[in-house]
């Protein structure tokens, strides 16, 4: 009986959040270990399906870096990164498209379907969902050509709004297309931030392999709430570095575009989305405007 009462208490705690978020859009960037562990995959898909059934409009953007790297290695193609972005030549681009759309995207759609949800997979190439142009890297003041890596110009969000406001959960692969019809690979955190801004989402949820933003690289404590001005200071000071930078910058762009809150959460925790959205304390870092 005590266990049942405890479960009822959890539902009651979630009630005001469910009421507040009913009918609101939540963009989720899915990546890291949550994409590798079968147990975590299932937990994330259960969370997303539940969000849909209780009245939220989840939109899922996924990465696929480990799968792409593994496939490139199998084909004898070496991976190279500049400023955290994969150098993408013709062969690498073909592999990225094959893996992201042919494998990763369809696996996610299938998993959501198994949980009872209706998912529809697409990439930024479909319907010119993500219009982009070629992106160059700046390395010590020098402009470096990194191949078919895209910089987002525009999100054509109508198709996402149509699907999300209906019964579907859009699942988006981070590929874009330019005005000449050339395809580009784009950082998934950047895509998630741009889509969240275009949809004026209530929340952008970034799943990572860290508990959240820390006060220093060696600290154990997590900053549970921080505003964007403080984030900029931490980037300038070097407190936020490495792979956290594109996540945070994508989040800042989303906030500038009208998103209310950005959450950086540990995707290694089962049911991390529900714990962050529907509990008073949360489990990660929330960035506010």
Summarize the annotated binding site for substrate as residue ranges.
64-65, 86, 185
H/E segment holding residue 117: none
Rounded to whole angstroms, the Cα distance separating 73 from 147 reads: 19
Instruction: Tally the C-alpha atoms within 13 A of residue 242's C-alpha that lie toward its C-beta.
Output: 8
Q: Rg for the chain (alpha carbons), in Å?
A: 19
User: Residue 265 forms beta bridges with which residues?
Assistant: 207
Among 187, 190, 193, 197, which residue's Cα sits nearest to residue 205? 193
Kindly state the tokens that stand for 134: 């070629």
Phi-psi region of 250 (alpha: psi -120 to 50; beta: other; left: phi over 0): alpha
Q: Residue 66: which residues within 8 A CB-CB, separation 6 or more?
A: 35, 36
Which residues does the annotation place in the binding site?
64-65, 86, 185
Q: Residue 259: which residues within 8 A CB-CB, separation 6 or more?
A: 27, 196, 197, 200, 201, 202, 203, 204
Main-chain phi, psi angles of 240, to 5 degrees: -100, 120
Among 176, 152, 149, which residue's Cα sits nearest to residue 83? 149
Among 108, 188, 200, which residue's Cα sits nearest to residue 149? 188
């Amino acid at each position: 009986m005590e266990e049942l009462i405890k479960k009822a208490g959890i539902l009651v705690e979630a009630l005001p959040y469910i009421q507040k978020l009913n009918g609101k859009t939540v963009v989720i960037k899915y990546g890291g270990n949550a994409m590798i562990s079968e147990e975590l995959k299932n937990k994330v898909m259960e969370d997303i399906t539940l969000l849909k059934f209780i009245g939220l409009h989840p939109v899922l953007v996924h990465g696929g870096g480990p799968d792409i790297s593994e496939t490139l290695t199998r084909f004898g193609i070496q991976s190279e990164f500049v400023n955290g972005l994969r150098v993408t030549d013709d062969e690498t681009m073909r592999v990225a498209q094959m893996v992201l759309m042919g494998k990763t995207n369809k696996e996610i759609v299938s998993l959501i379907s198994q949980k009872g949800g209706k998912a529809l997979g697409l990439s930024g190439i479909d319907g010119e969902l993500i219009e982009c142009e070629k992106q160059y890297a700046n390395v010590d003041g020098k402009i470096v050509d990194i191949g078919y890596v895209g910089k987002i110009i525009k999100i054509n969000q109508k198709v996402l709004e149509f699907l999300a406001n209906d019964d579907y959960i859009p699942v988006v692969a981070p590929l874009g297309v330019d005005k000449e019809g050339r395809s580009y690979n784009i950082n998934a955190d950047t895509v998630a931030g741009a889509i969240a801004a275009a949809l004026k989402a209530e929340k952008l949820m970034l799943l990572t392999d860290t508990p959240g933003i820390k006060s220093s690289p060696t600290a154990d404590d997590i900053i549970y709430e921080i505003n964007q001005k403080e984030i900029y200071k931490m980037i300038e000071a070097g407190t936020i570095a490495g792979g956290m930078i594109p996540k945070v910058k994508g989040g800042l762009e989303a906030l500038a575009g009208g998103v209310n809150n950005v959450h950086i959460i540990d995707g290694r925790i089962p049911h991390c989305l529900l714990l962050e959205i529907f509990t008073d304390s949360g489990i990660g870092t929330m960035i506010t405007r």
